[in-house]
Amino acid sequence: MSEVKLDDLVSLTKRRGFIFPGSSVYGGLSGTWDYGPLGVKLKDNFINLWKYFFVDSREDIYMVDAAIIMNKKVWQASGHVDTFNDPLVECKKCHSRFRADKIDLSHCLVCGEKNSFTEPKNFNLMFSTSIGPIGDGVGEVTIDRAELEKILANNKDSKISLKTDNENLVYLRPETAQGIFVNFKNVVDSFYPNIPFGIAQHGKAFRNEISPRDFIFRSREFEQLEIEYFINPEQWQEKFEMWINLIHQWFNLIGLPAGMITDKEIDGADRAHYSKRTVDFEFDFPIGKEELMGLAYRTDFDLRNIEMFSKKSMEYKPKDGSASFVPHVIEPSFGVERFILAILSSAYKQDEINGEKRVYLDLPFKLSPIKAIFGPLVRNKSEIVDLSKKIFKEIKSEITDILWDDSNNIGKRYRRADEIGTPFCITVDFQSLEDNMVTVRDRNTTIQTRVALDKLSDYLKKQF
């Protein structure tokens, strides 16, 4: 179990400018979060490293960037319209709503009423909206369709008719994967990849979660990094193992301790009906052991459904002249927010330096939003300030993620650097004027080293 409490992380990330509650100035909007200057950097570093590891350093995976709003047939073909549901229950006393499979149904968590819940009903998690001009939006009312049908059934003279198909209806995508499947043929026909090959996508996904909770762990708007790895079905077992292996290499690269990760094989009964094998990778979050990401063998389910709904062939013709076939897929699905939470909670450390307690984030250098904090020891000595500015400009032109901090209290400077996971603090002092050296303090050990100015950039770059 993670050592840090969720509340401590929420508070640190807000105080230091990583993550804020969404729309907080207006009292917030449940299930949404905004990233501040350091959060953006951390997330970008994570995503860029992911793109390097899974796409750019390989020869078999390519990226697409599909529109978030897609033709609603995408979600009919994928099964989301009919089956992307969670079981919803409502307390009959206080009308609070919950996800039935995530709570103890013996009493209401809000009002405490015993055995007060309605029967679970399916609640579709997709957000819907309309495309194109459908009225001026003024004075429109939202009516439950089933209620309206009841009213109309009792009012035979009514001139109101209900459309069976709303042409303007569209959904915000609840996963990025379908944006890959609908572009499968485009990529094959324009790019001619050799099978096996993967198509990756990074972007936002939206789910109208019944009870968003646990900080960014379950949000209504989040980011995914997904890969559909297209294979010949004969190879599925071998390629599935390859992916388990790659995913563990990835955990290691971003510094997640192996002891905090569990590979959970999902039983047939709990697996999505189209999946022949699913492994969930669970992490010891501050809220307990929960799903960090998933790996699924989705067979040819999606491409076959697209064939059925679009009447277009999704066959792949191998370049060696062998028979065409509809590829199968192995899908690793990474949730950015859950990784950010895992990275922050495993990096959060507390210790004591010279009798003083401190908190620091032991972030890997590659992920740290800021690589070094730089400043003069004092602000009132112009030679030191001038020299500092000169060196800062030079270093910043080579390593951009360096922050100027000239607050006079060096202790405060260090505390901030530690809490935002900055590996180095560089200080220019009186001695620097004599010996052309600066003091470099290491975040984890707090050891200070004198480094010559002409070696400073190499000293920092060594860490990349």
Smallest gap, in angstroms, from Cβ of residue 40 to ligand ATP? 17
**Nearer to ligand ATP by C-beta: 23 or 158?**
23
217 exposed, middle or buried (CB, 10 Å; 0-12, 13-18, 19+)? buried
Strands 61-64 and 197-206, by their bridges, are parallel
For the CA atoms of the chain, what is the radius of gyration? 27
Rule CB under 6 A: say whether 335 interacts with ligand ATP.
yes
Smallest gap, in angstroms, from Cβ of residue 407 to ligand ATP? 36
- Which stretch, 52-60, 148-156, 233-241, 334-342, contacts ligand ATP (CB under 6 A)? 334-342
- Which stretch, 288-296, 358-366, 407-415, 423-431, contacts ligand ATP (CB under 6 A)? 288-296
Residue with structure tokens 């960090």? 292
Rule CB under 6 A: say whether 337 interacts with ligand ATP.
yes
- Would you say 62 and 51 are in contact if contact means Cβ atoms under 8 Å apart? no
d(CA 236, CA 230): 10
**Nearer to ligand ATP by C-beta: 209 or 228?**
209
Rule CB under 6 A: say whether 298 interacts with ligand ATP.
no
User: Which residues, numbered 163-222, are part of the site for ligand ATP (CB under 6 A)?
Assistant: 207, 209, 218-219, 222
End-to-end CA distance of the chain: 30
User: Which residues are 428's β-sheet partners?
Assistant: 376
d(CA 402, CA 422): 9
- Would you say 337 and 283 are in contact if contact means Cβ atoms under 8 Å apart? no
Rule CB under 6 A: say whether 333 interacts with ligand ATP.
yes
d(CA 35, CA 37): 7
**Nearer to ligand ATP by C-beta: 302 or 405?**
302
The pair of structure tokens assigned to 456 is 């400073």
Rule CB under 6 A: say whether 54 interacts with ligand ATP.
no
Using CB under 6 A, count the residues that bind ligand ATP.
Answer: 13
Selected from 294, 375, 421, 423, the binder of ligand ATP by CB under 6 A is 294
Rule CB under 6 A: say whether 55 interacts with ligand ATP.
no
Residue with structure tokens 């299930």? 31
**Nearer to ligand ATP by C-beta: 90 or 337?**
337
Strands 221-231 and 328-335, by their bridges, are antiparallel
> Which residues in this chain contact ligand ATP in the complex, by CB under 6 A?
207, 209, 218-219, 222, 224, 291, 293-294, 333, 335, 337-338
